[in-house]
Chains A and B, each alone.
Chain A
Amino acid sequence: DSGVTQTPKHLITATGQRVTLRCSPRSGDLSVYWYQQSLDQGLQFLIQYYNGEERAKGNILERFSAQQFPDLHSELNLSSLELGDSALYFCASSVGGTGERTYGYTFGSGTRLTVV
């Protein structure tokens, strides 16, 4: 157990629907990162939050949004889902600042989203 908790582990939904993925970071970590992993695109950085504030944005679609709450857990909202959104979505956390330079990120086990 890495200490980063992601729910649900699996999600199957229809095109056009909206889903919410949840992440609880490791205790003490202030930064949360969201990644999308697909077979052809590898690991794509979506967005980072640090202590409740958006810190960096990657290749995140406008249909996707995220937030980090005061208790530091984060949610990734995916709407108007398309077949191509089927992927593994990972959350990672880190201390923030220069802490991650030595220890990198700690990853959760991911949510597998299947859009049918």
Chain B
Amino acid sequence: GEDVEQSLFLSVREGDSSVINCTYTDSSSTYLYWYKQEPGAGLQLLTYIFSNMDMKQDQRLTVLLNKKDKHLSLRIADTQTGDSAIYFCAEILRDDKIIFGKGTRLHILP
């Protein structure tokens, strides 16, 4: 079935790197996404990666894609207090429907 799995919680010390992992199910997914939800707000597209790429870097964000294992990760370098949020992994299916994971709550320790 259609399912995107990710761990629910992650705690990281300020200044360290955060790595949020995700597994998806549809090997034909062409795009995979990371969304960020800050408290009291809607989801905001953080970054995306096209399926023919292994890696995408955007400032402090690095997305790694392992198509063989259907594994996606988001690395946030030099984690700041403003990075505290829920991060959703998502994949797009052939019918253009986007399936979201349950979200990983990133907690920043001082």
Contacts and interface: CB of A to CB of B under 8 A. Distances in A.
Interface in A51-95: 56, 90, 92
A46 to B, nearest CB: 12
Contacts of B90: 104
Contact of B97 (A41, A42, A48, A110): A48
Contacts, number: 57
Interface in B46-65: 48
A107 B42 contact: yes
A30 interface: no
B98 A100 contact: yes
Contacts of A107: 35, 42-44
Chain B, interface SS category: strand
B10 interface: no
Interface stretch (B11-19, B74-82, B100-108): B100-108
Contacts of B41: 109-110
B109 interface: no
Interface of B: 30-31, 33, 35, 40-45, 48, 88, 90, 92, 95-103
Interface of A: 2, 4, 35, 41-43, 45, 48, 56, 90, 92, 97-98, 100-110
Given A102-B48, A107-B35, 11 more contacts: A41-B102, A42-B100, A45-B99, A56-B97, A90-B42, A100-B96, A101-B96, A103-B45, A104-B45, A104-B98, A109-B40
